[in-house]
């Protein structure tokens, strides 16, 4: 870790490469990112990379996203009525999500939709 002072504040920076090298987890950061992209592209609940029934913590990959889209079709959700298409651009708030992988590279946990401050 590197320690720096900015004004009166002490700032600590983690040497990410050194920390990653000190762990015995068999998947590289690049492999974890590639796996996360495949799982998210397939839809977490549809991915064949899920390790169902596992509740252990191995490696967590966290990311921020901001959902965007155009309201082109009717929206109902759980409402008792439909909202007709407005063709307006919709931009949601930034949110965090995560995937937890085991040592075989299977997804053992998924979180999504925790809104972050802007």
Per the structure, how many domains does the chain have?
Answer: 1
Asked whether the beta carbons of 39 and 107 are under 8 A apart, the reply is yes
Q: Could you tell me if residue 4 is inside a domain? A: no
- Compute the C-alpha angle 115/116/118, nearest 5°: 125
Residue 57 has pLDDT above 80, yes or no: no
Q: Could you tell me if residue 7 is inside a domain? A: no
Q: Could you tell me if residue 47 is inside a domain? A: yes
Average pLDDT over residues 8-29: 73
Q: Could you tell me if residue 6 is inside a domain? A: no
Residue 46 φ/ψ region, left for φ over 0, alpha for ψ in the -120 to 50 degree band, beta for the rest: alpha
Closest CA to 49 of 112, 110, 111: 110
pTM greater than 0.85 (yes/no):
no
Q: Look at the block and give the residue holding tokens 């320690």.
A: 3
pLDDT of 118 reads: 56
Q: Could you tell me if residue 2 is inside a domain? A: no
State the residue range of the domain holding 37. 30-115
Q: Could you tell me if residue 73 is inside a domain? A: yes
């Amino acid at each position: 870790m590197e320690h720096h002072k900015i004004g009166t504040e002490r700032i600590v920076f983690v040497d990410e490469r050194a920390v990653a090298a000190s762990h015995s987890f068999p998947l590289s950061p690049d492999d974890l990112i590639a796996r996360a992209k495949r799982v998210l592209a397939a839809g977490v609940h549809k991915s064949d990379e899920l390790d169902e029934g596992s509740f252990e913590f191995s490696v967590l990959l966290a990311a921020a996203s901001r959902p965007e889209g155009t309201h082109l079709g009717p929206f109902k959700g759980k409402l008792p009525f439909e909202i007709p298409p407005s063709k307006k651009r919709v931009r949601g708030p930034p949110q965090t999500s995560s995937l937890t992988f085991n040592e075989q590279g299977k997804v053992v946990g998924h979180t999504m939709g925790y809104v972050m401050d802007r």
